[in-house]
Chain A
Amino acid sequence: MKNIYLTFIFLLIICSLNAQKIEDVRINRYVDLAATIGESQGSLSGSYVHNWKLWKKRKWEAGFSVRWSSYFGSKTEFITAPARLARTNTTPFLIFFAGQRKESQDTLTVQRPYTNSVNLAINIGYNFNQKWSGGFNIDLVGFTFGRKSPAILTSNGETQTEPSAKPASFNLLLTGDHDLGSLNSEFFLRYHINSTWSIRAIYQFLFVEYVTQSVKQVAPDGTMVDRFRNKANTFGLGVSYHFKSIHNL
């Protein structure tokens, strides 16, 4: 008798909880898979996104995501990474508009780069109507692991073998060439097939960093440099599965 009573109470609680849940249209949660391709390089990425729709009209949305980005290439050129050697002006944000310091940049040609990055990212988007939306996202902080690869450092017209360059392990967004590690960012246009599925057209800008272990660049100021960055501009497609967000009244 006691068991029947407990079962009844349990069912009552479940029913009452379900009765108090409604779909929350203020939240856009989804998982996304994307693939992009560029010259001798490409990427695959997967992310979980949680966005809040903003203000009364809920046209704008913003939020966070966790993104895994896998980058691969063949004979990809990485250039001197530290901002003070790469740019003429290193003031944060103004660095975007600064010129390149070609005279202090060397090239590391990584033969078989392959990295996996897991980063926390921020997103912003705008819903044009029920079918179309657009947005931007960028990685903030995370870590990278990947394959060591032979590389060739070309410095002052001379070539040297780096037997085993490795991916930089720590990622941090600090604006422009101040950034550390591998960071992914995307501009995208989305088409909603239905309330669950959508597809995206993507322009991706992906920073990937490799570190040399044996050979170093000797910078004009005499410092030794072991960080080299590839800036991949790629285009691709993504597909998203949108969850129904349930809200307790």
Chain B
Amino acid sequence: MRWILFITLTGLLSWSCKKDMTSTTPVQEHVDTATAEVKFDGSFMNGPFGSVSGSVKIYEDSGSYQVALADMTISNGPDLHVYLSKEEQPLHFIDLGKLKSTSGNQVYPVANAPDFSQYKYVLIHCQKFNHLFGSARVVP
């Protein structure tokens, strides 16, 4: 009986930890460069709580923007999100959604048209624990 309880609790704990982790299956998404134009770009550097490498480009297509992450390699963590942020340690930010994968090329649409002179950083951020994994300063 004690073993059943132990295995059940261990299983539940393991499941609750894993469900927040990001997929490690590489994603291959690309922006249609025939119509979209690169407006800003930058390279990722490690944050205090993780390692992130890769580059970022912000495309504009008929007034709408997309953030494209390329050749990404990200250390895994719980509840990782992609932010557009005014600061390197996010205080004012726009959440572009959960990180799709810890590797590959990924595209995230941006709602509305933020002022990129203020939102100067693209971040990989652990939302649940407020831990910065990596940041990229984007410039025209």
Q: Which residues of B contact A215 (CB under 8 A)?
A: 91
Nearest to A112 among chain B residues (CB) is: B128
The answer to the question of B90 belonging to the interface, with a C-beta cut-off of 8 Å to chain A, is yes
Shortest Cβ distance from residue A100 to the other chain B in the assembled complex, whole angstroms: 25
Contact, CB under 8 Å: B129 / A161: no
Contact, CB under 8 Å: A163 / B130: yes
B127's partner among A152, A158, A160 (CB-CB below 8 A) is A152
Q: Which residues of A contact B79 (CB under 8 A)?
A: 111
Q: Which residues of B contact A159 (CB under 8 A)?
A: 92-95
Q: Is chain A's binding surface mostly helix, strand, loop or mixed?
A: strand
8 A Cβ contacts from A134-183 to B: 150, 152, 158-161, 163
Contact, CB under 8 Å: B94 / A161: no
Contact, CB under 8 Å: B92 / A160: yes
Interface range for B: 10 to 19
Q: Which of B79, B92, B95, B130: most chain A CB closer than 10 A?
A: B130
How many chain A residues touch B (Cβ–Cβ < 8 Å)?
12
Q: Which residues of B contact A158 (CB under 8 A)?
A: 92
**CA–CA, A74 and B79, complex, Å:** 11
Number of A-B contacts (CB under 8 A): 29
B91's partner among A75, A111, A161 (CB-CB below 8 A) is A161
Q: Is chain B's binding surface mostly helix, strand, loop or mixed?
A: loop
Shortest Cβ distance from residue B15 to the other chain A in the assembled complex, whole angstroms: 13
B90's partner among A74, A111, A161 (CB-CB below 8 A) is A161
**CA–CA, A20 and B62, complex, Å:** 92
8 A Cβ contacts from B74-107 to A: 79, 90-95
Q: Which residues of B contact A74 (CB under 8 A)?
A: 128
Q: Which residues of A contact B92 (CB under 8 A)?
A: 158-160
A150's partner among B93, B95, B129 (CB-CB below 8 A) is B129
Q: Which residues of A contact B130 (CB under 8 A)?
A: 111, 150, 161, 163
Q: Which residues of B contact A112 (CB under 8 A)?
A: 128-129
Per-position binary interface string of chain A over residues 76-117, scored 1 when its CB falls under 8 Å from any chain B CB and 0 otherwise: 000000000000000000000000000000000001100000
Nearest to A157 among chain B residues (CB) is: B112
8 A Cβ contacts from A191-249 to B: 215
**CA–CA, A96 and B91, complex, Å:** 36
14 contacts between A and B (CB under 8 A): A74-B128, A75-B128, A111-B127, A111-B128, A112-B129, A150-B128, A150-B130, A159-B95, A160-B91, A160-B93, A161-B90, A161-B91, A161-B93, A215-B91
